[in-house]
Amino acid sequence: MDDTTYVFDADGLIMGRLASKVADLLYKSARAGGEDKVIIVNAEKAIVSGKPSSVMKEYHQKYELNHARKGPFFPRMPDMILKRAVRGMLPYQRKSSGRKALLALRVEIGCPSNLKGDLPEGHEQGDDSKIRRDLPARYVSLGAISADLGAPAHRWAGGEQ
């Protein structure tokens, strides 16, 4: 079995659609005993559709719904928010294949230099043709949500407010 690393560019993609596609790809590979991996780049440019004020309110409620030491812990950084969305679509607590699938996921802020231009050997561009849509009328980028939650926005380009 030829194991592949799929690279998805989250720029302009709706976070839920991307997370669903990635979770499905990883889980099917883990169930079949494959070693496929997924790298998502430009996590801060993924979008959440909806009225910006209600989206921000929803994320603030999720973030504040915890105990400082006991949890549940909700991330502030855009890469971790996206990874948490994928985790929510995997049976990672019930099945070892779900945990294996989550371990095969890597989410990056920005685009690492080795993934710019031509992809290295064993890597291929992920098929986002079924999840790529025109931008909705109202949306918020994951970078803006993270900056609003108090994440250090200087870590990604254009994140300063």
Confidence of residue 150 (pLDDT cuts 50, 70, 90): confident
Element spanning 148, H or E: helix 142-149
Q: Residue 161's pLDDT is what? A: 41
Q: Which two tokens stand for residue 160?
A: 């300063």
Q: What is the CATH number of the domain that holds 112?
A: 3.90.1180.10
Q: How many CB atoms within 10 Å of residue 75?
A: 16
Confidence of residue 135 (pLDDT cuts 50, 70, 90): confident
Cα angle at 141 between 135 and 143, to 5 degrees? 155
Is residue 49, in this structure, part of any structural domain at all? yes
Q: Tell me the CA distances in angstroms from 25 to 14, 56, 101, 107, one per residue in order.
A: 17, 29, 9, 15
Is residue 160, in this structure, part of any structural domain at all? no
Average pLDDT, the chain: 89
Q: Residue 146's pLDDT is what? A: 92
Is residue 42, in this structure, part of any structural domain at all? yes
The DSSP bridge pattern shows strands 5-9 and 37-41 to be parallel
Beta strands (DSSP E) in 10-122 are 37-41, 47-49, 105-107
Is residue 123, in this structure, part of any structural domain at all? yes
Q: Which two tokens stand for residue 126?
A: 């992920």
For residues 76 and 7, give the distance between their C-alpha atoms in angstroms, rounded to a whole number: 23
How many domains does one find in the chain?
Answer: 1
Question: 62-71, 98-107, 122-131 — which is least confidently predicted?
Answer: 62-71
Q: How many CB atoms within 10 Å of residue 137?
A: 7
Q: Which two tokens stand for residue 140?
A: 């918020």
Is a pLDDT exceeding 80 seen at residue 1? no
Burial of 27 (0-12, 13-18, 19+ CB in 10 A): buried
Is a pLDDT exceeding 90 seen at residue 122? no
Is residue 40, in this structure, part of any structural domain at all? yes
Is residue 157, in this structure, part of any structural domain at all? no
Is a pLDDT exceeding 80 seen at residue 7? yes
pLDDT tens-digit profile of 92-108?
Answer: 899 999 999 999 999 99
By residue range, what is the domain housing residue 136?
Answer: 5-151
